[in-house]
């Protein structure tokens, strides 16, 4: 059932202090940490599931729910905040009908508001993580961010046609 992480378990299950690595590799394989994956990791490592949940919920890098095919990482750091990130977040939320941490019903987009993307000279900025990698978009306006989302959506529709 968890063939994708079996090599990870073989390598790290018996190594003290390797829980975070196991969780990272599991999330890489499945996109998030499903409940059954957490119980599998508990069984294989001997670490109680409650402790695994504690680690997974403490670190913001871990997700316990599936995410969209495209993760829209919107920066809310100081430079982005000063340059209108709140309006950009509002435009994304209204356009997609989701709030921070939520995924669209079609499973295409997840909005992830982050503290900083380290691209302050491009503020306000958003990184789009998708199957083809990461793409950073800077100097955003409400219209530009909606256009980016629409371009991605149009590309997905053409793939299905």
Any domain includes 153: yes
pLDDT at 145 over 90: yes
Tell me how crowded residue 137 is: count the other CB atoms within 10 A of its CB.
Answer: 17
pLDDT tens, position by position, 74-114: 999 999 999 999 999 999 999 999 999 999 999 999 999 99
96 and 123 within one domain: yes
Residue 135's domain comprises 70-160
Q: Is residue 35 part of a domain?
A: yes
Is 77 in the same domain as 132?
yes
Report pLDDT for 60: 81
Which CATH number is 85's domain given?
3.40.30.10
Q: Is 130 helix (H, G, I), strand (E, B) or coil?
A: strand
Return mean pLDDT, the chain.
94
Same domain? 76 vs 138: yes
Q: How many domains does the chain have?
A: 2
Please list the alpha-helical segments (H only) found in the chain: 6-12, 19-30, 35-45, 49-58, 78-82, 85-96, 142-160
- Inter-axis angle of helices 49-58 and 35-45, nearest 10: 120
The pLDDT score that the predictor gives to residue 140 is 97
Q: Are residues 111 and 85 in the same domain?
A: yes
């Amino acid at each position: 059932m968890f063939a994708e992480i079996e090599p990870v378990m073989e390598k790290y299950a018996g190594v003290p202090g390797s829980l975070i690595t196991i969780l990272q590799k599991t999330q890489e394989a499945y996109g998030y940490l499903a409940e059954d994956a957490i119980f599998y990791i508990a069984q294989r490592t001997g670490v109680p599931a409650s402790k695994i949940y504690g680690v997974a919920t403490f670190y913001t890098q871990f997700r316990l729910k599936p995410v969209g095919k495209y993760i829209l990482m919107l920066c809310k750091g100081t430079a982005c905040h000063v340059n209108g990130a709140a309006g950009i977040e509002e435009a994304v939320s209204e356009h997609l009908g989701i709030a921070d941490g939520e995924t669209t019903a079609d499973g295409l987009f997840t909005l992830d508001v982050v503290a900083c993307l380290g691209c302050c000279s491009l503020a306000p900025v958003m990184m789009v993580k998708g199957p083809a990698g990461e793409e950073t978009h800077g100097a955003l306006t409400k219209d530009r961010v909606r256009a980016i989302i629409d371009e991605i959506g149009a590309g997905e529709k053409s793939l299905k046609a």
